[in-house]
Amino acid sequence: MPPIYKDSGTVLTRREQFAESGYLVLPGLLPESLRDRLTVEVDHWVDDGLRARSIAACVDPSPDDLLPFLELELPAHGELLTYEPLLGVLRELIGSSFVFHHLHSDRHNPGMAGKPWHHDYEPNDDGDPSLLMVHTLHYIGGLDGTIGNLTVLPGSHREPRSKSALAHLGTAELPGEVEIDSLPPGSTVLVNSALLHARRPVPGPDEAARPRYFVDASYCQTGARWRPVKPYWRGMLARARDLGLGGGRWPELFAERHFTEYAESL
Ligand SMILES: O=C(O)CCC(=O)C(=O)O
């Protein structure tokens, strides 16, 4: 049984659950009005080439550091990034001081490839693995086992390894794994970014299945400087501040001082 966020539990219990297993499921966190707007925005992001352009700006950064149009400029995406109930849970798990790292948005159609076992933890300049990075995986329409299932390996975040150390296994079943194939709309799975996880495709995809709307955003505990993954990270934080995301209630959320300079991954 996956660890489910329970209002009835104590903060300590939830923190211990998260520390132990490396993930926490928040079923139906996002209200319908936000889900509906996110779905429209994801379609726009994918169908109008904005996603492709933002990827191109990372793969082949322009010398003048031009900022592409960003996910967080889409109003519902900006709202999701700073959704107070979500940030409240993050505060319970990380503590009150954390910074936004990056945001991705995509639509997975039937037949979508899986994503092999990996983790997403970025290094910080203190090399301090006790500083938390958390990915929030948002399943806007939920999960229904028709396109791809989120599979996690509880406890794996405690063992240091490279991001792709187990990628050669593809999405093969691992002893002790938990496969999450059913979630109500608007569910979020919080994962310690060092947790091994994979998207396991469903065999023989049903072409009539509903697309899978997926947004992920990550946040880092402050206390060291983190490695940015987007060449335009500085402009991205500036734009979030200009838009007033978070309403000034989270002073560190878009602060540049928590990052090192961008360097391409080896
Ligand atoms: O699609 C999913 O459920 C998980 C995606 C994933 O592993 C990732 O974004 O790192």
What are the angstrom distances between the C-alpha of 140 and each of 12, 35, 178, 239? 28, 6, 20, 24
**Residue 1 maps to a domain:** no
The count of domains in the chain is: 1
The letter for the amino acid at 168 is: H
CA-proximal residue: ligand 1, atom 3 (nearest) = 150
Dump pLDDT digits (tens) for 42-72: 999 999 999 999 999 998 877 666 789 999 9
Q: What element of type H or E holds 190?
A: strand 187-192
**Residue 130 maps to a domain:** yes
The answer to whether 214 and 197 have CB atoms below 8 angstroms apart is no
- Domain residues for 137? 11-258
Q: What is the CATH number of the domain that holds 206?
A: 2.60.120.620
Pocket test for ligand 1, best of 102, 199, 213, 218 (most atoms within 8 A of CB): 199
Beta-sheet strand order (sheet of 187-192)? 23-26, 187-192, 133-139, 212-221, 98-108
Dump pLDDT digits (tens) for 70-79: 999 999 999 9
Q: Give mean pLDDT, residues 174-180.
A: 98
**Residue 265 maps to a domain:** no
**Residue 264 maps to a domain:** no
CA-proximal residue: ligand 1, atom 5 (nearest) = 199
**Residue 4 maps to a domain:** no
**Residue 5 maps to a domain:** no
**Residue 229 maps to a domain:** yes
142 CA to centre of ligand 1 in angstroms: 14
What's the pLDDT at 266? 53
Pocket test for ligand 1, best of 55, 115, 189, 192 (most atoms within 8 A of CB): 115
Atom of ligand 1 nearest to the CA of 150: 3
Which segment of 52-61, 109-118, 217-226, 233-242 scores lowest on mean pLDDT?
Answer: 52-61
